[in-house]
Amino acid sequence: MDLNSGRLVACSVRTHPGSFNRSLLDNVKYIESLFALLVHRIKMTPLAAPQAFEVPANDGAVGDAVADDGGLTMQCVISTSHIAYHSWPLQDQFRLVVDSCKDFSAKDVEEVVRHHFTVKEMVIQDVPYEDPANDEAQRQKPPAEAPAPNSSPQGHAETAA
C-alpha cells in the first residue's frame, strides 16, 4: 500500500427539522447500517463491529464553556484507518468523517449519506493525501526571478565605484 495515497472526507450535515431524521440521528442500529453500506460502497474492510457511545445532554455544568446537546458518537476501525460519526439530534445535525490511506470517492460518501437521511444542508471537506516527495520538490524549486544584480529597488541602475 502506498502511504502517500488516500483521503479524508468530512461531511457536516443538517437534516430537515421535524422530519423522521431526528429519531435516527442517535439510533445505534440505523447508524450501524449507515456504516455497513458506507464500508461496502467505498470498498473498505472493517476490523471490528462499530463502537457506539451515547453522549448525555449537558446543559452547562459548572466550568463548561459550552453546553452539550448530547447525541451519539460512533466509530468503526477499518483496515486502512477509521470512520467516525458524531450527532447532535436537538440541532438536527451530524458529522461523518472517513479517513483512509486507501483512496476512495467523496461522491460515494455523499451518496450514502443522502440515501440514509433527508439532507437540508451538507458541507463536504475532501482532503486527498499528497505525496510528500511532491512537497519536497516544490520547496526545492528555484525562487522567482530576482532583479538584475546592478539595479536598485527603485529600478535605477547603480554604478560600481
pLDDT tens-place string over residues 5-40: 899 999 999 998 766 667 899 999 999 999 999 999
Residue 27 lies in a domain: yes
Q: Which one, of 9, 3, 5, lies nearest residue 125 by Cα?
A: 9
Q: What is the CATH number of the domain that holds 45?
A: 3.60.90.10
For the chain, the average pLDDT equals 81
Lowest mean pLDDT among 94-98, 100-104, 106-110, 131-135: 131-135
Phi/psi at 112 (5° precision): -65, -45
Number of domains in the chain: 1
Alpha helices in the chain (DSSP H): 21-25, 28-41, 106-116, 132-139
Which domain, by its residues, includes 90? 17-58+71-131
Please give the pLDDT value at position 113.
Answer: 96
Is position 5 within any domain?
no
For residue 120, tell me if it sits in a domain.
yes
Asked if residue 149 belongs to a domain, the reply is no
Residue 9 lies in a domain: no
Is residue 66 included in any domain, yes or no?
no
Burial class from Cβ neighbours inside 10 Å (0-12, 13-18, 19+) for residue 44 reads buried
Residue 9 burial class via C-beta count within 10 angstroms: exposed 0-12, middle 13-18, buried 19 and up: buried
Q: Who has greater pLDDT, 75 or 151?
A: 75
Is residue 151 in some structural domain?
no
Q: How far apart are CA 52 and CA 74, in angstroms?
A: 4
Note whether residue 97 is domain-resident.
yes
